[in-house]
Chain A
Amino acid sequence: MAARLKNSSNDRLTIRINGELREFEIGPDLEPLTTLSEFLRERLGYTGLKISCDEGACGACTIIMDGKAVLSCMLLAMEADGKDLVTIEGLPKDDPVLEAFAEQCEPGHGTALQCGFCTPGFVMTTRALLNENPTPTLDEVKEALSGNLCRCGCYDGITMAVLHASEKITLRRGQA
């Protein structure tokens, strides 16, 4: 994929964003030092991802690049040339991860979100985890999410949401 998408020109980037192939010119809005998070959020309006720490410590800017969860604040926009990106805006409305995060209210675990600022990051990290491993163990879930901070402290509700999303995926596969 990367090889096919990669643009031969040095003054242009080709990035697939949420399924759409887009070309960008390097200029005042896209400088060599523009981070991918800033480019996506501020220039292109994908405000679902949040910039909170801007140094790879909180996970709020997580997106999926070529199938892997990445911290978009730790990448330059230039590094996304030829890549396939998915932001939270690119997830389908019935994505089981979105649904599970929204629905979590199982007694004893609280909700999976409160202020919601970190949520898109957790959702994207979870989406990447479940793409690779649709039935993770509790330890695998925690390990995968350990780079995302939730100051409201909804880790328990988040864990339940991930497990429920996993169940939904299994169920839907069974029905398909």
Chain B
Amino acid sequence: MNTPYKPRIHRRFIGGYMPRIDALEKAQGRAPYADDIISERNYPGLLHVRVLCSPYPRARIIRLDASKAAAMPGVKAILTYQDPEVKRMKPTNASWTDGVDTLSYERMMWTKFKDRQVLGNYATWAGDEVGVAIAAESEHIAEQALKLVEVEWEVLPFVLDPLIALQPEAPVIHPEITLNNVLPPDPVGGPDIFMTKGDAKQAFTTADVILEMDTSNHNPTQGALDPWCCLAQWEGDRLTIVSNSFHADQTRMHISQMLELPIHNVRVISKYVGGQFGRANTGEQPFFIFTALLAKKTGRPVKFKHTRRDSFHDTRVSALYHCKVGAKTDGTITALQFKSIGDIGGHADGSVFALKFAPAEISEVAFAPIPNVTMESYAVYTNHIPGGIMRGVGNSQFNFIFGRMIDGLAERLEMDPISLAIKNFGHEWGTCPDPSLKAVLEIGAQRLDWYKKRHKPGAGPLYDGVNRRGVGFSLHPAWHAEWQEERRGQIQAKITLLPDGTVILDTPTTEIGTGSNTCNVLGCAEALSFLGVRPEDITWSSTVDSDTGMRDCVQTDSAVSYLQSEVLVVAAQELKVKLLDLAAPILGIAGDRLEITEGRIIGPGKNISIKELLMKGDLMPLSVTVSRSPAKQRTGVPYFASFAEVEVNTATGRTQVLKLIIVNDCGTVMYASGAEAQQIGGQVMAVGEALTEEIVYDPIHGVPLNFNFIDYKIPTILDMPKIEPVLLEIWRGAGEYGACGIGEGTITCTPRAIASAVYNAIGTRIDEIPITPEKVLRALGRI
């Protein structure tokens, strides 16, 4: 138990178990978040904004009278859809990018899906921010004033079920985009059948076994505890935004282009963020724009903040998946066909990323050994909360059917599903069996005691007269290897060596909890170990400020943990050259005859410390700024897996997870404590998604009923099982470390592992998450 992982190469700092660099500051409550910073104390005269949220799932404002609100004491400005600066706003999408890169309005990922109008008059879900926003002396006054606004709505027919939305008589939700509620093919996602390899149709005719199955997942929400919050403040023509957005450079581009401001006149600052998890799709939100317009109108700093209810703002795309698999009797898969119907809610945003982009990425690697594959998807508008980007985007939904297919086919062929998986999946640049996949599954099986605990479905012993136990697993290829990060473009890092040998590290990235800041410091210390630099000698800036001129590396794909450390390796080499250039004249020895090791410069007859050397110089800080693109080398991907043991109470229908084993091949573990925290931590979201979290609607009125943390059930400490994190270094990527991100994916396999374990326990499949007691009792024929 709790055996620390064994590193492939022992390094001085990288890969260590140690506290996070921000741990004390956070434990003491001193770490500043946007909501802490944006206060009257820091911004005298601060105004607060509330925006109208549609009470109807689909409706149009036909008349709005805000005169009573305007007369209310404390109300400073009102912005409505009728104002010229709002009317001339171009239509937009809240997901110009998936976060890895900065994209402009013209080049946004989803150019065909601009279905959002800033403060428009047309609402497509009950909660849509539309029509009117009010800035007042307090949140309370703004809220009260909003109630005084007379709004005449044209309440329109709505649709919640994507299958009904596909019917010809269904209300057309965004006629400017599509007349049948299905998003049209687009340059990024591709056509409806977005992936074709070989001829699956033909291959099915010769397959020994054919199996078909369906799964359904729901739309859990990110549930970051830190609600959206932003400040807009103008000084002349210059706008400053402080927010808990996690991509400053993209936020600057978004605001500059929506408000038609020169880029240098927009400054974006972020500090600590209390959880991100892909929320807001992932950031080009209209509220930045109307907050900025209200600040302009009033000439005062203006704060916009979501309440907990408002922060139910977007979700994972819920999807119905169908899979058809053809195989030989020896378990070789010959043909795969996947089809999904995604419920994208009232706005398109990044939903196609989930439904097409991510599954295409998976098939590129995992299905490389399978000759015939077809993937097809339909993104369907409904009047639900918008679905789009959430941690594990697209992969979580896909894994739920992928793992189902492995489990089902193995059962049909009377094979062990682990052997079946190892036999069939790998990646294009490797050999089958894939060493990473094999290691991940074999170690997971061993840690869970798979072969002892696994039994025929529903055939295990009965515990306490009512409980059945079962085990399940699922596997997934990583999507965070360095070559998969190519779209990021240049990643920047700056190291400044101060005259006493201490270091200021500028690796801009907004700290959202992932621990990549600690990776940065470890990576810097590792790269500068020739200078004798230790982590405690390094200051890492927790402020991301677009005015520094550096682009922040966004915390998506969990890749920041190693990407910036790879750049630091190059930066350290450049720093060494500069140091030798500095040392040569001071020591009177040519640079090529000098060596730097363990913090000392050594040459013929000389041996002095770096600090002594620097103190003899001009005392200028020595800086290097390096930009480097991710390595393009196609190294394939590592695998990861979840193994679950559950206990199902056949009397109450309650499913309890007893144990989870989370296995990640990391390539290289950059920071062991942080990696384990991600492996363990992701399970709260995964177990919630599998068992308890679910947005519930009133089907008659189309409104969500549980936008709060009492009825939307996030697992507590009492709901969580024993979790065993297993870190491996089997696969190797490009660069000095050859690492791969792991954090995002840690939640991807668990819902399927739990669902298969429930089947193993009770002998009836429930392929629709969340697996609620009601569904279990129904499956058991009890209700």
What is the interface of chain A, defined by CB distance below 8 A to chain B?
Answer: 42, 45, 47-55, 57-58, 60, 87-89, 91, 93, 98-99, 101-120, 123, 142-143, 145-159
Closest approach, in angstroms, between the C-beta of A107 and any C-beta of chain B?
A: 4
Residues of A within 8 A of B308 (CB): 52-55
Of the candidates A88, A109, A110, which one forms a contact with B28 in the assembled complex, judged by CB atoms under 8 Å apart?
A88
- Closest A residue to B716 by beta carbon equals A146
- Closest A residue to B28 by beta carbon equals A98
| B223–A151 touching, CB < 8 Å | yes
Question: How distant is the Cα of A103 from the Cα of B674 in the complex, in angstroms?
Answer: 13
Residues of A within 8 A of B672 (CB): 107
The interface size bin for chain B is 35 or more
Most buried by A among B2, B512, B674, B680: B680
| B33–A45 touching, CB < 8 Å | no
Closest approach, in angstroms, between the C-beta of B141 and any C-beta of chain A?
A: 11
Residues of B within 8 A of A114 (CB): 20, 275, 513-515, 677-678, 681
Of the candidates B3, B24, B275, B677, which one forms a contact with A157 in the assembled complex, judged by CB atoms under 8 Å apart?
B677
Residues of B within 8 A of A57 (CB): 708-710
Residues of A within 8 A of B30 (CB): 48
- Closest A residue to B679 by beta carbon equals A110
Question: How distant is the Cα of A98 from the Cα of B681 in the complex, in angstroms?
Answer: 20
| B676–A146 touching, CB < 8 Å | no
Of residues 716 through 746 on chain B, the ones whose CB sits less than 8 Å from some CB of chain A are 716-718, 720, 723-725
B433 within 8 A of partner (CB): no
| B681–A154 touching, CB < 8 Å | yes
| A49–B717 touching, CB < 8 Å | no
Known: A53-B308, A102-B23. A117 touches B28 (CB 8 A): no
Known: A58-B225, A108-B676, A156-B680. A47 touches B2 (CB 8 A): no
Closest approach, in angstroms, between the C-beta of B707 and any C-beta of chain A?
A: 11
Most buried by A among B4, B673, B717: B717
Question: How distant is the Cα of A45 from the Cα of B35 in the complex, in angstroms?
Answer: 11
**Which are the 8 A-B pairs with shortest beta-carbon distances?**
A48-B29, A117-B274, A115-B513, A108-B2, A116-B26, A110-B677, A153-B684, A153-B681
Residues of B within 8 A of A98 (CB): 24, 27-28
Residues of A within 8 A of B22 (CB): 116
Question: How distant is the Cα of A50 from the Cα of B274 in the complex, in angstroms?
Answer: 10
Of residues 624 through 650 on chain B, the ones whose CB sits less than 8 Å from some CB of chain A are none
Of residues 571 through 620 on chain B, the ones whose CB sits less than 8 Å from some CB of chain A are none
Closest approach, in angstroms, between the C-beta of A63 and any C-beta of chain B?
A: 11
Closest approach, in angstroms, between the C-beta of A116 and any C-beta of chain B?
A: 3
Question: How distant is the Cα of A101 from the Cα of B24 in the complex, in angstroms?
Answer: 8
| B19–A111 touching, CB < 8 Å | yes
Question: How distant is the Cα of A89 from the Cα of B36 in the complex, in angstroms?
Answer: 14
Residues of B within 8 A of A60 (CB): 225
Residues of B within 8 A of A99 (CB): 27
Of the candidates B28, B39, B679, B709, which one forms a contact with A53 in the assembled complex, judged by CB atoms under 8 Å apart?
B709
What are 20 residue pairs bridging A and B, where the CB atoms are less than 8 Å apart in the complex? A48-B28, A49-B29, A58-B709, A99-B27, A101-B23, A109-B676, A111-B20, A113-B26, A114-B20, A116-B31, A150-B681, A151-B223, A151-B224, A151-B714, A152-B684, A153-B680, A154-B680, A156-B723, A157-B677, A158-B717
Of the candidates A88, A105, A150, which one forms a contact with B673 in the assembled complex, judged by CB atoms under 8 Å apart?
A105
